[in-house]
Amino acid sequence: MEAARRLSAGAIVAFATETVYGLGADTFNVAAIERIYALKGRPARNPLIAHVAGTAEARRVAAVWDERCDRLAARFWPGPLTIVVPRSADVPDRATAGWPTIAIRAPAHPVAQRLLQAFGGPISAPSANRSGHVSPTTARHVAEDFPDAADLYVLDGGSCAVGIESTVVDLSGAPARVLRPGSVPASALAEILGEVATPDLTAQAAGPGTEPRHYAPGAAAELVCTASLPGRLSKLREPAVVLCLDRGSVEAPHLAIVMPSSPRAYAARLYDALREADACGRSRIVIEDVPLDISETEGLWSAIRDRLRRATRRSEE
């Protein structure tokens, strides 16, 4: 397999997973890892997820892989769950940006699984976008983010079915802590782990994976609740693009991109819609907030709202 050969030769390759596309390198090849940081413009202290075929490989990169990890893996792997545990001394420092822990995920997408089998080792991969930009959910999105890397190999697996990044759960301390919400809800983790701490989604950065502004389009973007949407749109001087749940709330000169009403379909469409909105060339994107009580922190709508908040947070904050 060409992509596996390239990884073995020290190159980086992009590949489909069920969440978003990843930009991968051999976990044990420091020079290849450095190339990922350079190509993405990624901050040097932001660690990478090691992608593995399954628990046998996870044990290779973890210093501690306990019974809780096995139970999580048995229930959610392969799939959109990333598990943070103490890092094995065999793993180079750069593969975790110097952190003593390592994030590990076995992706379910057949393309990712074939690549991991063919390569035969862990693949460190962040999402395959420029740092801070919207994550890619198609091979075209990857190519658009790296126009100057014409030789970047992209293993195309179509549109990502989940569409938002994996849930990240940190098991390196007690209690277990959700660092990033995703399609695996905290309640499902709690069934296995007992107590699970969930993040304060409005808090400032407190470690890797918690940067407040992220997943952001180029245009100024704001999040507006359904009730305030008509009033907000009538006050805007310039025509905006609106990601809305119902076209009826958007009148000319504003342009509507109607989002799906089920959370699964919404998540799968979100990053493509943000890129589409950006490509309209208008200076402002208005996003109608998701249909979920403001205090609710559980479930897929809540993970989607986390991404919407990060996409619309002003960078000076």
Which parts of this chain interact with ligand TXA (CB under 6 A)?
Answer: 17, 19-20, 22, 46-49, 82, 84, 96, 99, 101-103, 105, 107, 125-127, 165-166, 168, 170, 179-180, 208-209
Tell me which of Mg ion, ligand TXA, none is bound by residue 289, counting a contact when its beta carbon lies within the kind-specific cut-off of 5 to 8 angstroms: none
**Rounded distance between C-alpha atoms, residue 260 and residue 301, angstroms:** 12
Q: Which one, 42 or 282, has the nearer CB to Mg ion?
A: 42
Contacts 24+ apart (CB under 8 A), 176-181: 176/68, 179/84, 179/207, 179/208, 179/209, 179/210, 180/82, 180/209, 180/210, 180/306, 181/297, 181/302, 181/303, 181/306
Q: List all residues 6 or more positions away from 234 whose beta carbon is below 8 Å from its beta carbon.
A: none
Pairing, β 81-86 against β 101-105: antiparallel
Judged by CB, which is closer to ligand TXA: 42, or 282? 42
- Complex with Mg ion: residue 65 or 271, whichever CB lies closer: 271
Return the one option of ligand TXA, Mg ion, none that residue 55 interacts with (CB less than 5 to 8 A, by type). none
Q: In this complex, which beta carbon is closest to Mg ion, that of residue 127 or of residue 172?
A: 127
Q: Say how many Å lie between the first and final Cα of the chain, rounded.
A: 45
Task: Return the range that interacts with Mg ion (CB under 5 A); candidates 68-76, 79-87, 125-133, 253-261.
Answer: 125-133
For the bound state, the minimum distance from the C-beta of residue 51 to ligand TXA, rounded and expressed in Å, comes to: 6
Which residue has the CB atom at the shortest distance from Mg ion?
A: 127
Q: Which does 84 bind (CB under 5 to 8 A by kind): ligand TXA, Mg ion, none?
A: ligand TXA
Nearest approach, Cβ of 246 to ligand TXA (angstroms)? 29
CB of 57 to ligand TXA, least distance (A): 15
Q: Is 27 in the site for Mg ion (CB under 5 A)?
A: no
| By the rule CB under 5 A, 127 interacts with Mg ion | yes
Q: Which does 46 bind (CB under 5 to 8 A by kind): Mg ion, ligand TXA, none?
A: ligand TXA
Distances (CA, A) of 237 to 40, 225, 249: 35, 19, 17
**Does residue number 297 form part of the binding site for Mg ion (CB under 5 A)?**
no
Binding region for Mg ion (CB under 5 A): 127
